[in-house]
Structure formats: structure tokens, C-alpha cells
Amino acid sequence: MNRPTILSSLLLLTSLSFGVLGCSSTIPLVADASVPFTEGQVDPSFKDNGNGTITVKVKHLGDPTKIASGAKGYVVWILPKKDGAEPQNVGVLKVDDDQSGELTFTTAFHAFAVMITPETAVDAMKPSGLVLLKGNVSG
């Protein structure tokens, strides 16, 4: 097989992989000054059917009770980028003993802000105020 054919085959394989896996890129989350060593990222993957599978990952995020009095856990919120949209609680981010956590959820929205807050009730309907990590997704 000659070189142009190998290169063509690799390019075709790469483009097919992206078509099967959907569009994906890692988005860093910005940490609040109250948690300066915390790192976070969002890994969105949007499929041809319009739905997105979103994975939020954090490192160096300690016990929520040490960050906010009475906090029972961390909640991940999305705020769709459309007029009149309200923040939506998409799940609880469980942090392990290594201070790492991960949450995967699905959404039909393609453009939204992601926020992580400590909450006294993990089924809260609105963020309580202290946003520890935030970022923007536009798929």
C-alpha cells in the first residue's frame, strides 16, 4: 500500500470515529476563590439525535460541610442559554475520599452554563448562592 492510500485511510477512519462518537471537547470549569485548588471540567458529547451526554468531573473538592454550613452535598446545575430559563438541578455530585467526583447526565439543551454549589438539600429547586465551579457549554 502506498503512502497516500494509508493517509487517506487514516483520515477516513478518524472522520468516521467522530461521526459515531458525536461532537466532543473538554471545557474547563472556573473555581471560586473559596476553593482555589479545586479543578473541574465538563465533557459534553452531542449526538445526531440532538441529545447531549454531559460528564462533569472534579478534583480536590473537599467535604461540603467544611465549605458551607449545613451542606448535605454538591449539586450540579445547568442554566439554559435562552430567555426566561431557570437553573435546573441535574444531579448530585458525589465526592469520594480522594476528593474526586463525577456526574453524567443527559440534556436536550446545547448551550448552557454549568454550576456546582453546596446545598443543604440535594433536591433543591434553586441554587443557594455559593457557586464553587462554573463554565459554559455550547454544542
Residue pair 32/130 in contact (Cβ under 8 Å)? The answer is yes
Dump pLDDT digits (tens) for 41-50.
999 998 887 8
Around Cβ 88, how many Cβ atoms within 10 Å? 16
Question: Which run of H or E residues covers position 53?
Answer: strand 52-59
Structural domains of the chain sorted by starting position, each given as residue range(s) with its CATH number in brackets: 23-138 (2.60.40.200)
Which residues, including other chains, have CB under 8 Å from residue 108's CB and lie 6 or more apart? 50, 51, 52
Tell me, what's the pLDDT at 47?
85
Position 24 confidence tier, pLDDT thresholds 50, 70, 90: low
Q: What is the identity of the amino acid at 76?
A: V
The stretch 35-54 carries a mean pLDDT of 92
